[in-house]
Structure 1
Amino acid sequence: MSPAKSPAASQRSYHHGDLRRAVLTAALEVIAADGPSALSLRDLARRAGVSHAAPAHHFKDRAGLLTAIAAEGYGLLAQALADARDLREAGVRYVRFAREHPAHFEVMFTPGLLRGDDLELATARALAADALRTAVSAVDPGDRGQDAGLAGVAAWSLAHGFATLLLGRNLDTAVGDRDPEEVFHTLAGMLFHSAGPHGRQD
Protein backbone atom coordinates (compact mmCIF):
# COMPACT_ATOMS: atom_id res chain seq x y z
CA MET A 1 0.00 0.00 0.00
CA SER A 2 1.33 3.43 -0.92
CA PRO A 3 1.83 5.81 2.00
CA ALA A 4 -0.67 8.64 2.27
CA LYS A 5 0.52 12.01 1.10
CA SER A 6 1.49 14.38 3.85
CA PRO A 7 0.03 17.93 3.87
CA ALA A 8 3.47 19.21 2.85
CA ALA A 9 3.59 16.82 -0.10
CA SER A 10 0.12 17.89 -1.18
CA GLN A 11 1.20 21.53 -1.00
CA ARG A 12 4.26 20.81 -3.14
CA SER A 13 2.05 19.04 -5.69
CA TYR A 14 -0.32 22.00 -5.80
CA HIS A 15 2.46 24.51 -6.40
CA HIS A 16 4.10 22.21 -8.95
CA GLY A 17 7.54 23.75 -8.41
CA ASP A 18 6.87 26.52 -10.93
CA LEU A 19 3.17 26.37 -11.64
CA ARG A 20 3.13 29.54 -13.71
CA ARG A 21 5.78 28.20 -16.07
CA ALA A 22 4.11 24.79 -16.26
CA VAL A 23 0.78 26.34 -17.28
CA LEU A 24 2.42 28.67 -19.81
CA THR A 25 4.30 25.75 -21.36
CA ALA A 26 1.15 23.66 -21.59
CA ALA A 27 -0.74 26.60 -23.12
CA LEU A 28 1.95 27.16 -25.75
CA GLU A 29 1.74 23.50 -26.74
CA VAL A 30 -2.02 23.71 -27.16
CA ILE A 31 -1.81 26.93 -29.19
CA ALA A 32 0.91 25.53 -31.45
CA ALA A 33 -1.21 22.47 -32.16
CA ASP A 34 -4.76 23.83 -32.24
CA GLY A 35 -4.70 27.63 -31.92
CA PRO A 36 -5.71 29.98 -29.07
CA SER A 37 -9.40 29.07 -29.33
CA ALA A 38 -8.60 25.59 -28.00
CA LEU A 39 -7.33 26.93 -24.65
CA SER A 40 -9.16 25.94 -21.48
CA LEU A 41 -7.83 26.67 -18.01
CA ARG A 42 -9.34 23.45 -16.72
CA ASP A 43 -7.63 21.42 -19.46
CA LEU A 44 -4.33 23.19 -18.83
CA ALA A 45 -4.59 22.36 -15.13
CA ARG A 46 -5.06 18.72 -16.04
CA ARG A 47 -2.05 18.81 -18.37
CA ALA A 48 0.08 20.45 -15.67
CA GLY A 49 -1.14 17.99 -13.04
CA VAL A 50 -2.56 20.59 -10.67
CA SER A 51 -5.91 21.64 -9.22
CA HIS A 52 -8.31 23.11 -11.79
CA ALA A 53 -8.34 26.34 -9.74
CA ALA A 54 -4.54 26.70 -9.71
CA PRO A 55 -4.10 28.42 -13.14
CA ALA A 56 -6.68 31.05 -12.19
CA HIS A 57 -4.60 31.86 -9.12
CA HIS A 58 -1.81 33.10 -11.42
CA PHE A 59 -3.70 34.36 -14.49
CA LYS A 60 -7.29 34.97 -13.26
CA ASP A 61 -8.79 33.97 -16.59
CA ARG A 62 -8.07 32.98 -20.18
CA ALA A 63 -7.40 36.57 -21.26
CA GLY A 64 -4.87 36.94 -18.46
CA LEU A 65 -3.07 33.80 -19.59
CA LEU A 66 -2.97 34.89 -23.22
CA THR A 67 -1.76 38.35 -22.19
CA ALA A 68 1.07 36.77 -20.22
CA ILE A 69 2.02 34.71 -23.28
CA ALA A 70 2.02 37.83 -25.47
CA ALA A 71 4.13 39.79 -22.97
CA GLU A 72 6.63 36.95 -22.80
CA GLY A 73 6.69 36.82 -26.58
CA TYR A 74 7.43 40.54 -26.98
CA GLY A 75 10.21 40.21 -24.41
CA LEU A 76 11.72 37.32 -26.35
CA LEU A 77 11.40 39.31 -29.58
CA ALA A 78 13.16 42.32 -28.06
CA GLN A 79 16.01 40.04 -26.99
CA ALA A 80 16.14 38.52 -30.47
CA LEU A 81 16.38 41.93 -32.15
CA ALA A 82 18.91 43.40 -29.72
CA ASP A 83 22.31 44.25 -31.21
CA ALA A 84 21.31 43.39 -34.77
CA ARG A 85 23.95 44.90 -37.06
CA ASP A 86 21.47 46.29 -39.56
CA LEU A 87 17.87 46.18 -40.66
CA ARG A 88 18.25 43.05 -42.74
CA GLU A 89 19.73 41.15 -39.83
CA ALA A 90 16.93 42.41 -37.60
CA GLY A 91 14.42 41.14 -40.17
CA VAL A 92 16.10 37.75 -40.33
CA ARG A 93 15.98 37.55 -36.54
CA TYR A 94 12.28 38.49 -36.63
CA VAL A 95 11.56 35.65 -39.06
CA ARG A 96 13.65 33.26 -36.93
CA PHE A 97 11.70 34.30 -33.84
CA ALA A 98 8.40 33.55 -35.57
CA ARG A 99 9.64 30.12 -36.66
CA GLU A 100 10.97 29.23 -33.21
CA HIS A 101 8.02 30.66 -31.24
CA PRO A 102 4.94 30.24 -33.47
CA ALA A 103 2.47 30.12 -30.57
CA HIS A 104 3.82 33.33 -29.04
CA PHE A 105 3.81 34.93 -32.49
CA GLU A 106 0.15 34.11 -33.12
CA VAL A 107 -1.04 35.39 -29.76
CA MET A 108 1.08 38.57 -29.80
CA PHE A 109 -0.67 39.87 -32.90
CA THR A 110 -4.25 38.98 -31.98
CA PRO A 111 -5.11 41.99 -29.79
CA GLY A 112 -8.74 40.95 -29.34
CA LEU A 113 -7.53 38.13 -27.10
CA LEU A 114 -5.45 40.34 -24.82
CA ARG A 115 -5.83 42.85 -22.00
CA GLY A 116 -4.79 46.05 -23.72
CA ASP A 117 -4.13 47.89 -20.45
CA ASP A 118 -1.68 45.31 -19.06
CA LEU A 119 1.53 47.04 -17.93
CA GLU A 120 3.80 44.04 -18.50
CA LEU A 121 2.51 43.71 -22.06
CA ALA A 122 2.90 47.43 -22.78
CA THR A 123 6.47 47.43 -21.45
CA ALA A 124 7.48 44.39 -23.49
CA ARG A 125 5.91 45.87 -26.64
CA ALA A 126 7.86 49.09 -26.11
CA LEU A 127 11.14 47.20 -25.78
CA ALA A 128 10.51 45.37 -29.05
CA ALA A 129 9.55 48.62 -30.79
CA ASP A 130 12.73 50.31 -29.55
CA ALA A 131 14.82 47.46 -30.95
CA LEU A 132 13.14 47.86 -34.34
CA ARG A 133 13.68 51.64 -34.32
CA THR A 134 17.37 51.10 -33.62
CA ALA A 135 17.60 48.81 -36.65
CA VAL A 136 15.79 51.36 -38.85
CA SER A 137 18.30 54.04 -37.83
CA ALA A 138 21.02 52.01 -39.59
CA VAL A 139 19.23 52.21 -42.95
CA ASP A 140 20.68 54.47 -45.61
CA PRO A 141 18.73 57.79 -45.43
CA GLY A 142 18.18 57.58 -49.17
CA ASP A 143 16.22 54.38 -48.66
CA ARG A 144 14.16 55.41 -45.65
CA GLY A 145 13.47 58.98 -46.75
CA GLN A 146 12.56 61.67 -44.29
CA ASP A 147 10.06 59.61 -42.32
CA ALA A 148 11.90 57.04 -40.24
CA GLY A 149 8.60 56.02 -38.65
CA LEU A 150 7.14 54.93 -41.96
CA ALA A 151 10.41 53.20 -42.80
CA GLY A 152 9.96 51.20 -39.63
CA VAL A 153 6.42 50.29 -40.64
CA ALA A 154 7.68 49.19 -44.07
CA ALA A 155 10.44 47.05 -42.54
CA TRP A 156 8.07 45.53 -39.97
CA SER A 157 5.46 44.84 -42.66
CA LEU A 158 8.02 43.03 -44.80
CA ALA A 159 9.33 40.86 -41.96
CA HIS A 160 5.92 40.21 -40.40
CA GLY A 161 4.25 39.47 -43.71
CA PHE A 162 7.00 37.08 -44.74
CA ALA A 163 6.91 35.32 -41.35
CA THR A 164 3.12 35.03 -41.39
CA LEU A 165 3.05 33.62 -44.92
CA LEU A 166 5.86 31.26 -44.03
CA LEU A 167 4.11 29.88 -40.93
CA GLY A 168 0.92 29.44 -42.94
CA ARG A 169 2.90 27.36 -45.47
CA ASN A 170 1.98 29.82 -48.21
CA LEU A 171 5.61 30.18 -49.29
CA ASP A 172 6.46 26.48 -49.61
CA THR A 173 6.68 26.64 -53.39
CA ALA A 174 8.44 30.02 -53.56
CA VAL A 175 11.04 29.14 -50.91
CA GLY A 176 11.47 25.51 -51.87
CA ASP A 177 14.52 23.89 -50.31
CA ARG A 178 16.22 27.19 -49.58
CA ASP A 179 16.77 28.49 -46.06
CA PRO A 180 13.82 30.85 -45.39
CA GLU A 181 16.08 33.22 -43.48
CA GLU A 182 18.43 33.52 -46.44
CA VAL A 183 15.47 34.12 -48.73
CA PHE A 184 14.24 36.92 -46.49
CA HIS A 185 17.75 38.44 -46.32
CA THR A 186 17.75 38.62 -50.12
CA LEU A 187 14.27 40.16 -50.24
CA ALA A 188 15.18 42.80 -47.66
CA GLY A 189 18.30 43.65 -49.63
CA MET A 190 16.12 44.50 -52.60
CA LEU A 191 14.41 47.25 -50.60
CA PHE A 192 16.77 48.46 -47.88
CA HIS A 193 20.48 49.20 -47.68
CA SER A 194 22.52 49.68 -44.54
CA ALA A 195 24.43 52.90 -44.04
CA GLY A 196 27.98 52.19 -42.93
CA PRO A 197 30.74 54.64 -41.95
CA HIS A 198 31.67 55.12 -45.60
CA GLY A 199 28.22 55.40 -47.05
CA ARG A 200 25.96 52.79 -48.55
CA GLN A 201 26.63 49.12 -48.03
CA ASP A 202 24.78 46.18 -49.57
Structure 2
Amino acid sequence: MTDSYHHGDLRRQVLTAAAEVIAEHGVAAVSLRDLARQAGVSHAAPAHHFGNKTGLLTALAAEGFERLADELGAADGLREMGVAYVRFALEHPAHFRVMFDSDLLDADNPDLVAARANTRQRLRAGVGDRPEQALAAWSLAHGFATLRLGGNVIGDDAAEIFRGIAATVFQG
Protein backbone atom coordinates (compact mmCIF):
# COMPACT_ATOMS: atom_id res chain seq x y z
CA MET A 1 0.00 0.00 0.00
CA THR A 2 1.47 3.33 -1.00
CA ASP A 3 -1.30 5.77 -0.22
CA SER A 4 -0.12 9.28 0.51
CA TYR A 5 -1.77 11.91 2.63
CA HIS A 6 -1.66 15.66 2.26
CA HIS A 7 1.49 15.84 4.37
CA GLY A 8 3.38 13.13 2.47
CA ASP A 9 3.80 9.40 2.67
CA LEU A 10 2.20 8.42 5.97
CA ARG A 11 3.16 4.76 5.65
CA ARG A 12 6.85 5.62 5.32
CA GLN A 13 6.60 8.20 8.10
CA VAL A 14 5.02 5.70 10.52
CA LEU A 15 7.59 2.99 9.69
CA THR A 16 10.44 5.44 10.25
CA ALA A 17 8.96 6.69 13.51
CA ALA A 18 8.34 3.13 14.72
CA ALA A 19 11.96 2.20 13.99
CA GLU A 20 13.13 5.21 16.00
CA VAL A 21 10.90 4.30 18.95
CA ILE A 22 12.07 0.67 18.91
CA ALA A 23 15.74 1.63 18.66
CA GLU A 24 15.42 4.01 21.60
CA HIS A 25 12.81 2.40 23.86
CA GLY A 26 12.12 -1.13 22.62
CA VAL A 27 9.21 -2.80 20.87
CA ALA A 28 6.88 -2.50 23.86
CA ALA A 29 6.93 1.29 23.51
CA VAL A 30 5.39 1.22 20.02
CA SER A 31 1.81 2.44 19.89
CA LEU A 32 -0.16 3.18 16.73
CA ARG A 33 -1.98 5.96 18.59
CA ASP A 34 1.28 7.60 19.62
CA LEU A 35 2.68 7.29 16.12
CA ALA A 36 -0.51 8.84 14.71
CA ARG A 37 -0.28 11.69 17.20
CA GLN A 38 3.36 12.22 16.28
CA ALA A 39 2.42 12.33 12.56
CA GLY A 40 -0.45 14.73 13.23
CA VAL A 41 -3.12 12.42 11.83
CA SER A 42 -6.14 10.64 13.27
CA HIS A 43 -5.51 7.54 15.33
CA ALA A 44 -7.20 5.49 12.60
CA ALA A 45 -4.82 6.60 9.83
CA PRO A 46 -1.92 4.22 10.66
CA ALA A 47 -4.42 1.38 11.08
CA HIS A 48 -5.49 2.02 7.47
CA HIS A 49 -1.96 1.04 6.37
CA PHE A 50 -1.04 -1.64 8.91
CA GLY A 51 -4.22 -2.85 10.60
CA ASN A 52 -2.65 -3.13 14.03
CA LYS A 53 0.69 -3.22 15.81
CA THR A 54 1.44 -6.70 14.48
CA GLY A 55 0.85 -5.42 10.96
CA LEU A 56 3.19 -2.49 11.57
CA LEU A 57 5.94 -4.70 13.00
CA THR A 58 5.48 -7.19 10.16
CA ALA A 59 5.89 -4.40 7.60
CA LEU A 60 9.01 -3.22 9.42
CA ALA A 61 10.41 -6.76 9.44
CA ALA A 62 9.66 -7.24 5.72
CA GLU A 63 11.43 -3.96 4.98
CA GLY A 64 14.36 -5.14 7.09
CA PHE A 65 14.65 -8.45 5.25
CA GLU A 66 14.63 -6.64 1.90
CA ARG A 67 17.36 -4.26 3.06
CA LEU A 68 19.37 -7.16 4.44
CA ALA A 69 19.00 -9.07 1.16
CA ASP A 70 20.37 -6.04 -0.70
CA GLU A 71 23.33 -5.82 1.67
CA LEU A 72 24.07 -9.54 1.36
CA GLY A 73 23.79 -9.39 -2.42
CA ALA A 74 26.45 -6.68 -2.57
CA ALA A 75 28.93 -8.65 -0.41
CA ASP A 76 31.76 -10.65 -1.94
CA GLY A 77 32.20 -14.03 -0.28
CA LEU A 78 30.94 -15.66 2.87
CA ARG A 79 33.01 -13.64 5.33
CA GLU A 80 31.97 -10.33 3.79
CA MET A 81 28.35 -11.48 3.84
CA GLY A 82 28.79 -11.92 7.59
CA VAL A 83 30.26 -8.44 7.82
CA ALA A 84 27.32 -7.08 5.82
CA TYR A 85 24.92 -8.86 8.18
CA VAL A 86 26.61 -7.35 11.24
CA ARG A 87 26.68 -3.88 9.69
CA PHE A 88 23.01 -4.14 8.82
CA ALA A 89 22.14 -5.09 12.40
CA LEU A 90 24.14 -2.20 13.83
CA GLU A 91 22.81 0.36 11.35
CA HIS A 92 19.18 -0.82 11.57
CA PRO A 93 18.78 -2.11 15.14
CA ALA A 94 14.99 -1.74 15.22
CA HIS A 95 14.51 -3.74 12.05
CA PHE A 96 16.94 -6.37 13.31
CA ARG A 97 15.13 -6.69 16.64
CA VAL A 98 11.73 -7.36 15.08
CA MET A 99 12.84 -9.45 12.09
CA PHE A 100 13.63 -12.52 14.14
CA ASP A 101 10.96 -12.33 16.84
CA SER A 102 8.20 -14.48 15.42
CA ASP A 103 5.89 -13.67 18.33
CA LEU A 104 5.66 -10.09 17.03
CA LEU A 105 4.93 -10.90 13.39
CA ASP A 106 2.26 -12.25 11.08
CA ALA A 107 4.31 -15.13 9.63
CA ASP A 108 1.81 -15.62 6.79
CA ASN A 109 2.00 -12.05 5.52
CA PRO A 110 2.88 -12.31 1.80
CA ASP A 111 5.34 -9.39 1.89
CA LEU A 112 7.17 -10.92 4.84
CA VAL A 113 7.20 -14.39 3.26
CA ALA A 114 8.65 -12.97 0.02
CA ALA A 115 11.23 -10.83 1.80
CA ARG A 116 12.41 -13.76 3.93
CA ALA A 117 12.67 -15.97 0.84
CA ASN A 118 14.71 -13.31 -0.97
CA THR A 119 17.09 -13.04 1.98
CA ARG A 120 17.45 -16.83 2.21
CA GLN A 121 18.20 -17.00 -1.49
CA ARG A 122 20.98 -14.40 -1.09
CA LEU A 123 22.42 -16.32 1.85
CA ARG A 124 22.35 -19.58 -0.09
CA ALA A 125 24.15 -17.92 -2.98
CA GLY A 126 27.02 -17.19 -0.60
CA VAL A 127 27.38 -20.71 0.77
CA GLY A 128 26.15 -22.89 -2.06
CA ASP A 129 24.97 -26.37 -1.19
CA ARG A 130 26.41 -26.47 2.33
CA PRO A 131 23.50 -26.06 4.76
CA GLU A 132 25.58 -26.73 7.88
CA GLN A 133 28.08 -24.03 6.90
CA ALA A 134 25.21 -21.65 6.13
CA LEU A 135 23.70 -22.21 9.57
CA ALA A 136 27.07 -21.86 11.27
CA ALA A 137 27.80 -18.62 9.42
CA TRP A 138 24.36 -17.21 10.17
CA SER A 139 24.64 -18.20 13.83
CA LEU A 140 28.04 -16.54 14.10
CA ALA A 141 26.95 -13.29 12.45
CA HIS A 142 23.60 -13.15 14.25
CA GLY A 143 25.13 -13.96 17.62
CA PHE A 144 27.90 -11.41 17.21
CA ALA A 145 25.45 -8.71 16.07
CA THR A 146 23.12 -9.46 18.99
CA LEU A 147 25.97 -9.33 21.49
CA ARG A 148 27.24 -6.07 20.00
CA LEU A 149 23.80 -4.46 20.08
CA GLY A 150 23.44 -5.52 23.70
CA GLY A 151 26.71 -3.80 24.61
CA ASN A 152 28.44 -7.09 25.34
CA VAL A 153 31.14 -6.77 22.66
CA ILE A 154 33.20 -3.62 22.66
CA GLY A 155 35.77 -2.26 20.26
CA ASP A 156 35.98 0.45 17.68
CA ASP A 157 35.40 -1.49 14.48
CA ALA A 158 32.77 -4.19 14.66
CA ALA A 159 33.43 -5.26 11.07
CA GLU A 160 37.11 -5.91 11.75
CA ILE A 161 36.36 -7.72 14.99
CA PHE A 162 33.87 -9.93 13.16
CA ARG A 163 36.29 -10.59 10.28
CA GLY A 164 38.85 -11.83 12.81
CA ILE A 165 36.35 -14.11 14.51
CA ALA A 166 35.08 -15.44 11.16
CA ALA A 167 38.63 -16.14 10.01
CA THR A 168 39.27 -18.10 13.18
CA VAL A 169 36.07 -20.11 12.95
CA PHE A 170 36.08 -20.74 9.19
CA GLN A 171 39.86 -20.87 8.63
CA GLY A 172 40.02 -18.59 5.63
TM-score by length of 2: 0.94
- The count of residues paired between Structure 1 and Structure 2 equals 169
Partner of 2:33 in structure 1?
Answer: 42
Residues 125-145 of structure 1, C-alpha deviation per residue, up to 9 Å, x if partnerless?
A: 0111111111113xxxxxxxx
Partner of 1:158: 140
List aligned pairs for 1:33-112, cutoff 5 A.
33-112=24-103
Question: For structure 2, which runs of at least 5 residues remain unmatched after alignment?
Answer: none
2:159 to 181, 186, 190: 181
Structure with the higher helix share, 1 or 2: 2
RMSD of aligned Cα (Å):
1.4
Determine the structure 1 residue equivalent to 2:116.
125
Q: 1:31 pairs with 6, 11, 22, which one? A: 22
The alignment partner of 1:96 has SS state of helix
Q: Which runs of 4+ in 1 moved over 2 A?
A: none
1:18 aligns with 2:9: yes
Displacement of 1:52 in angstroms is 1.0
Percent of pairs with identical residues: 60
Distance 2:45 2:160 in 1: 44
1:16–1:50 Cα contact (<8 Å) kept: no
Note the C-alpha offset of 1:85. Answer: 1.4
Please give the alpha-carbon distance, in whole angstroms, between the structure 2 residues aligned to 1:187 and 1:161: 12
SS at match of 1:117: coil
Q: 1:168 — aligned with what? A: 150
1:141 aligned partner = none
**Residues 183-202 of structure 1 correspond to what in structure 2 (within 5 A)?**
183-192=161-170, 202=172
Whole-Å separation in 2 of the counterparts to 1:122 and 1:189: 32
Unaligned runs of 5+ in 1: 1-11, 138-146, 194-201
Distance 1:78 1:166, change over 3 A: same
The Cα of 1:48 is off from its aligned counterpart by 1.1
What TM-score results when the alignment is normalised by the length of structure 1?
A: 0.80
